[in-house]
Chains A and B, each alone.
Chain A
Amino acid sequence: MEDIVNNKVVKVNHISMKFNLMEKRVDNLKEYIIKFFKNELRYQEFWALKDITFTLAKGERLGILGLNGAGKSTLLKIIAGVLKPTEGTISIKGRIVPLLELGAGFDAQYTGAENIYLYGAVLGYTRDFIREKYDEIVEFSELGDFIHVPVKNYSSGMKARLGFSIATIVDPEILILDEVLSVGDAKFRKKSEKKIMDMFDKGVTVLFVSHSLEQVKRLCDRAIILEKGCLIADGPIDEVSKLYEALVGETEKKPKKKKKKKKKKKPVPKDIPETNVQKEAVAQDEPETTKKQEAAAQDEPETTEKQEAAVQDAPTTNEQQKADVHDAPETSEQQKADVQDVSETTEKQEAAAQEGRDNSEPEQI
């Protein structure tokens, strides 16, 4: 929108990405054929991205914000060309260098030197180019004689250093960063940051994903927010980061309420990644359920068993239950007694809950 000049390097045009989550994963021929004939091949559709559109001009530095499961990585993968969108088109002008999980593409048996050629070839460099830059790569990676040792003997820091050195030996037009500004030790980190800053100065276009708003603010001049696969904000970094702060703050304020919410309610199907916001909404709507349950528990102690069953479906619940117990200020003696009966079941519940804790949930009581 800001400029009419045709210097858009990234054009993302109404892209959507659909994943078929099979109810039960079928990966062998027998099952597939049986299910095929019984017409039991069912998929659950899940849209990781819905109708995303934006463009990036040369030199723009875009931060991509969003909670876990919002679709950030999917978007990056589509831009990097690794994934193909279900709908929509994308056009890229210029060389992309993805700095994602550095060193993941190395062959462990190969020495560092051999991997320079291999990984360089993967990134699309020519042989002459790599040969020419070889010394520079080795020097920047600070590996010294280790360069002739098989990569399987490298530490993860060494791998990352080598990966970074190879990937950044060219000046890319588009740089994809996924929280990699923390490579290696402090000294190398400084060096790599400087190198990236140099690229910034040369006018590289950047796509940056990070959970640290601080970093995004420092590096980017524009940001978008994804939520549940939808683009909900796009604009200059100051505005968007405020919005994001508000969004995150909102979700962080309410852990208590949220905990209460889930109690006995039907667990939300796991396939649909729910965000805290959603949960909170539910929670706010029916905070009184917990009370009811407490009451019920008093009258008939065997309900706890049902609760336990329910809890196993919805793993996070046990803490709320405890919270309930503490919270309820007017608890009578009798209730306390009940609570004690229940206490052994809560232990089991805890165990059950431990297995599948929803990590997107802030954990405080």
Chain B
Amino acid sequence: MMSNAIRNFNKYKYLLFELIKKEIKLKYRRSFLGILWTLLEPILTTIVLTLVFTRMLDWGKSSDYPVYILTGRLLYSFFSSSTKSAMKAIRSNATMIKKVYVPKYIYPVSSVCSGYVTFLISMIVLLGAAFIFKIKPTVHLLTAVIPLVLLFVLALGVGLILATMAVFFRDMEYLWGVILMLVMYTSAIFYKTEKVDSKWIFYFNPLYFIIVNFRNAFFGHPMDMQALAIAAAYSFGALIIGIILFYKKQDKFILNI
């Protein structure tokens, strides 16, 4: 079965590539600045968040606050946009699914992948910001790869779960919007965790632990092993559940779209 799946994937990997390309190409096709928005958007939102929260949360003199925000925001916005588009992937490709046989996972997977590509492009902004705010790279920067991989795994797993559920229950799309808001506020994007009393809430949010380690790598601290373990457990757990759920339900999709 496994070798079968791999052979099938090989046959359709060009389709996966085409779908990823399509999503990236079409995203900015009609906009004047095109792909530049991938860079501009995080810069602008970071400026807004910095202006709002430096005063409000009494950040003090810490000069790297914009970079702190930017790291959290980039990771969160990838997670939210890719899970959202993966959730809608099956339904928005309904015409295709009804006509031609194609492994169905290819649609949510391509959504997450295309989101990841634009996410990696937008990392350029982070490098620029680090340069401006004089954050020196250290050896720890190399460990940034690990949270980035976990982030992809998590988004893929959650995306598959959502894609499956959204076929049967349209409400998921609204519900997920609310949950994402909760994720955003518990991800410590624009505040420091020291000031939070009830830290238990973070344990429900895998994204938080991913962001923690990404920041550690970026600001030159060693990796937080506990956070890594939790993030890995969540990510691979989500992926396994996602694959099983999707695999079990995929034959019923067509009856519901």
Which residues of A does B touch, CB under 8 Å?
A: 19-20, 27-30, 32, 77, 80-84, 96, 98, 100-101, 104-105, 107, 109-110, 114, 117-118, 121-127
Contact = CB atoms under 8 A, between A and B. Distances in A.
B22 A107 contact: yes
Contacts of B11: 124
A77 B100 CA distance: 9
A255 B171 CA distance: 47
Contacts of B100: 80, 82, 98, 105, 122-123
B173 to A, nearest CB: 11
B95 A82 contact: no
A100 B97 CA distance: 12
B254 A110 contact: no
Given A82-B101, A84-B251, A109 B26 contact: yes
B26 A122 contact: no
Contacts of B224: none
B18 A117 contact: yes
Contacts of A77: 98
Contacts of B22: 107, 110, 114, 118
A75 B72 CA distance: 51
A107 B93 CA distance: 10
Contact of B18 (A81, A82, A84, A121): A121
B170 A27 contact: yes
B168 interface: yes
Interface string B95-115: 111111110000000000000
Contacts of A84: 251
Contact of B169 (A27, A81, A125): A27
A82 B97 contact: yes
A32 B99 contact: no
Contacts, number: 70
B7 interface: no
Interface in B1-43: 11-12, 14-15, 17-19, 22, 25-26, 29
B101 A30 contact: no
Interface residues of B, number: 29
A30 B172 CA distance: 11
A101 B168 contact: no
B256 interface: yes
A82 B15 CA distance: 17
Contacts of B172: 29
B171 A28 contact: yes
Contacts of A27: 168-170, 256
A110 B23 CA distance: 11
A28 B11 CA distance: 36
B99 A118 contact: no
B255 interface: yes
26 contacts: A20-B255, A27-B170, A27-B256, A28-B169, A28-B170, A28-B171, A80-B100, A81-B101, A82-B100, A83-B254, A98-B99, A100-B99, A104-B95, A104-B96, A105-B95, A105-B96, A105-B100, A109-B26, A109-B29, A117-B18, A118-B18, A121-B14, A121-B18, A122-B102, A124-B12, A127-B14
Given A121-B19, A125-B14, A126-B14, 7 more contacts: A77-B98, A96-B101, A98-B99, A105-B95, A118-B22, A122-B96, A123-B100
Nearest to B102: A122
A98 B96 CA distance: 12
Contacts of B170: 27-28
Interface in B216-257: 251, 254-256
Contacts of A125: 14
Contacts of B96: 104-105, 122
B14 A82 contact: no
Interface string B165-200: 000111110010000000000000000000000000
A46 to B, nearest CB: 11
B178 to A, nearest CB: 13
Which 6 residue pairs spanning A and B have beta carbons closest together?
A81-B101, A121-B15, A84-B251, A121-B18, A105-B96, A29-B169
Nearest to A97: B100
Contacts of A82: 97-101, 254
